[in-house]
């Protein structure tokens, strides 16, 4: 097996945790021994951080693999996967590291496990630099299920920066194969809705202000639709720590979903948080693609694994997506063909079995 080891340069393109997530998930799924070097080489804190380490350990455990070099600050790991098994698997970042990113690395693997799986993921549910759990449930889930599988996502506890403390339980049954998808027809926007939340000590007024500012911003551009953004006070027993944020979803006549989201930070007004999310949503609706900029890269691994040709129409292809394509082509030996149509791109891919 040693001779067939795949060598991955962790310092190219996106140059961060995403290279690790894509390459270890595909290594696990395809039974390919893997060495990743120069992990997060260009980052201010190079090497593995707690959330990357917990993701790697989870992948190792769910296939009884061998993992070397896995410690905080390490810039090189070697991974030898074995057979993927179902059952209960736990990952805890012990920080506000994103549970959604843990889900990104583990979900494709357990899709092909020997039996049903339960993933217990602990960390931040609504954290910076990662999808919010609400995005995962409201946008990623319904779209990714078009590949022909379902999963259940139970938010036990929400956790925010800097403490984390959130917990999500994902349950899924394995499939024999994934079906290709075709997301090329955007349709017209039929609904806009969302949730603006506060947790912990933050006053409910902050949620109402975020929602109102977002609605005002969207109304300037989209006048003929009712925009329904619910302000929410997270129950005390379902949220750890303090946080605020907003997610807004646009749904289209063909079932496409787009989002804009934002999180509160110290010194940022509620209005600004609401407006940032609204502007992100509007930008995602302007590019003419059928998926938003945060969904593109999350679909690549599934497209690579699907049995047949998938097509998605995107706006400008993000660096995360280019990175996911690069490593899917290197490891899964699939081929992505971007074709430029007007200002948007259509990604075609011939998947493997």
Catalytic residues, which ones? 320
51 annotated to bind ligand: no
297 annotated to bind ligand: yes
Bridge-based pairing state of the strands 66-68 and 87-92: unpaired
Peptide bond into 162 cis (omega under 30): yes
Nearest to 207 by CA among 247, 238, 240: 247
298 annotated to bind ligand: yes
- The whole-angstrom separation of Cα 31 and Cα 214 is 46
295 annotated to bind ligand: yes
Residues ≥6 apart with Cβ < 8 Å to 206: 198, 244, 264, 270
34 annotated to bind ligand: no
Distance of CA 287 to CAs 18, 140, 191, 284, 316, Å? 24, 19, 18, 6, 8
61 annotated to bind ligand: no
- The whole-angstrom separation of Cα 324 and Cα 304 is 10
Bridge-based pairing state of the strands 166-172 and 182-183: unpaired
CA torsion through residues 9, 124, 151, 62, sign: positive
CB atoms within 10 A of CB 252: 17
Q: What share of the chain is helix, strand, coil (3-state, %, to 5)?
A: 35, 30, 35
Beta bridge partners of 231: 196
- The whole-angstrom separation of Cα 233 and Cα 211 is 13
Annotated binding site for ATP: 104, 294-298
């Amino acid at each position: 097996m040693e001779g067939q080891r795949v060598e991955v340069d962790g310092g190219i393109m996106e140059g961060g945790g995403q290279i690790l997530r894509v390459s270890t998930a595909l290594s696990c799924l395809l039974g390919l021994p893997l060495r990743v070097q120069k992990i997060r080489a260009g980052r201010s804190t190079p090497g593995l951080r707690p959330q990357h380490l917990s993701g790697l350990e989870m992948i190792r455990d769910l296939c009884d693999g061998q993992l070397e070099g896995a410690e905080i600050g390490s810039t090189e790991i070697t991974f030898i996967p074995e057979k993927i098994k179902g059952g209960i698997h736990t990952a805890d970042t012990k920080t506000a590291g994103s549970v959604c990113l843990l889900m990104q690395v583990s979900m494709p693997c357990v899709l092909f496990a020997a039996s049903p799986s339960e993933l217990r993921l602990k960390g931040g549910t609504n954290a910076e630099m990662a999808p919010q759990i609400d995005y995962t449930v409201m946008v990623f889930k319904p779209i990714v299920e078009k590949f022909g599988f379902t999963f259940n996502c139970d938010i036990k506890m929400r956790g925010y920066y800097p403490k984390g403390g959130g917990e999500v339980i994902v349950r899924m049954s394995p499939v024999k194969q994934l079906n290709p998808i075709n997301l090329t027809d955007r349709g017209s926007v039929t609904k806009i809705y969302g949730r603006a939340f506060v947790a912990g000590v933050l006053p409910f007024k902050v949620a109402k202000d975020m929602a109102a500012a977002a609605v005002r911003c969207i109304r300037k551009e989209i006048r003929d639709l009712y925009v329904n953004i619910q302000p929410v006070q997270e129950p005390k027993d379902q949220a750890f720590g303090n946080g605020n944020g907003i997610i807004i979803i646009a749904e289209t006549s063909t079932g496409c979903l787009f989002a804009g989201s934002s999180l509160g930070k110290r010194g940022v007004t509620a209005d600004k948080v609401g407006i940032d999310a609204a502007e992100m949503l509007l930008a995602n609706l302007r590019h003419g693609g059928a998926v938003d900029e945060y969904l593109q890269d999350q679909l690549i691994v599934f497209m690579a694994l699907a049995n047949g040709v998938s097509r998605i129409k995107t706006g400008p292809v993000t660096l995360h997506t280019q990175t996911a394509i690069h490593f899917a082509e290197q490891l899964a030996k699939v081929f992505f063909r971007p074709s430029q149509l007007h200002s948007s791109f259509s990604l075609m891919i011939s998947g493997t079995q």
